[in-house]
Amino acid sequence: MSISHYLQQIGRGSKGASNLKRDDAQTLMSQVLSRSVTDLEIGAFCMAMRIKGETSDELAGFYDAVKPLLPPLRFNQPVLLLPSYNGARKTHLMTPLLAKWMSELGYLVMVHGTHEDPQRTGSEQVFREMGWPIVSQRDDLHSFLSLHKFAYCPLEILCPELNQLLAVRQVIGVRNSGHILAKLINPVLTDSFQISNYTHPAYPVIIEEFFNLHTANVVSMRGHEGEPVSSPRRLPELSFQMQHAELNWTSEARYIDTPVEYQLDIDAVCTHQLYDSILSGACPAPQTLLWQTQALHEAFKRSGTIEAI
pLDDT, residue 248, reads 54
Show the CA angle centred on residue 38, arms to residues 36 and 43, nearest 5°.
Answer: 115
pLDDT, residue 34, reads 96
Report d(CA 13, CA 203) in Å as an integer. Answer: 19
pLDDT, residue 233, reads 82
The highest-confidence range among 15-19, 64-68, 213-217, 236-240, by mean pLDDT, is 64-68
Show the CA angle centred on residue 153, arms to residues 152 and 154, nearest 5°.
Answer: 120
Report d(CA 20, CA 55) in Å as an integer. Answer: 8
If pLDDT is split at 50, 70 and 90, which confidence band does 31 have?
Answer: very high
pLDDT, residue 16, reads 85
Q: What number is the average pLDDT over the span 270-292?
A: 92
CA dihedral of residues 156, 47, 66, 306 (deg, nearest 10)? 90
Fold of 79-302: Pyrimidine Nucleoside Phosphorylase; Chain A, domain 2 (3.40.1030)
Report d(CA 24, CA 294) in Å as an integer. Answer: 41
Task: Give the rounded percent of residues in the chain with a pLDDT score beyond 90.
Answer: 71
If pLDDT is split at 50, 70 and 90, which confidence band does 17 have?
Answer: confident
CATH classification (class only), 4-69:
mainly alpha
Q: What is the CA radius of gyration of the chain?
A: 19
Q: Residue ranges per domain, the chain? A: 4-69, 79-302
Report d(CA 109, CA 102) in Å as an integer. Answer: 7
Does the pTM exceed 0.85? yes
On average, the pLDDT of the chain sits at 90
pLDDT at 201 over 60: yes
Q: What number is the average pLDDT over the span 138-166?
A: 96
pLDDT, residue 259, reads 60
pLDDT, residue 209, reads 92
Report d(CA 279, CA 42) in Å as an integer. Answer: 45
Q: Which residues pair with 241 in a beta bridge?
A: 218, 246
pLDDT at 252 over 70: no
pLDDT, residue 165, reads 97
Q: Could you tell me how many helices (H) and strands (E) the chain has, helices first?
A: 15, 9
Q: What number is the average pLDDT over the span 52-61?
A: 95
Report d(CA 7, CA 101) in Å as an integer. Answer: 45
If pLDDT is split at 50, 70 and 90, which confidence band does 308 have?
Answer: very low
Q: What number is the average pLDDT over the span 20-40?
A: 96
